[in-house]
Amino acid sequence: MDIPYSRAKDGIIIEVKVIPRSSKREIAGVVDNIVKVKLTAPPVEGAANEQLIELLAEKFGVKKSSVVIIKGGSSKLKTIKITGVEL
């Protein structure tokens, strides 16, 4: 699956729509250049954000500290910066 992204100085930026409390933890697809991500964690006390960071770090083969939510921390629609990635 091709993930739409824009280049940043030291990595990439992706737009993500999070679907919390799903039955699976997965990247579910791309709709209108936004990556749909299903998470099993609830959107409580940052649990869904933490699981999102873990999933994206695994997917792109980087450390969790390389994945940062730069916009939308408490929203379903988020902007994520992933450093150390070249696509």
- pLDDT for residue 37: 97
> What domains sit in the chain, N to C, each tagged with a CATH number?
6-83 (3.30.1200.10)
Residue type at 74 in one-letter notation: S
Digitized pLDDT (tens) for each residue of the chain, 87 residues in all: 788 999 988 999 999 999 999 999 999 999 999 999 999 999 999 999 999 999 999 999 999 999 999 999 999 999 999 999 877
Rounded to an integer, what distance in angstroms lies between the CA atom of residue 12 and that of residue 84? 8
The pLDDT score that the predictor gives to residue 31 is 94
pLDDT at 50: 97
State the distance between the two ends of the chain, measured CA to CA, in whole angstroms. 13
Look at residue 39 in the predicted model and tell me its pLDDT: 97
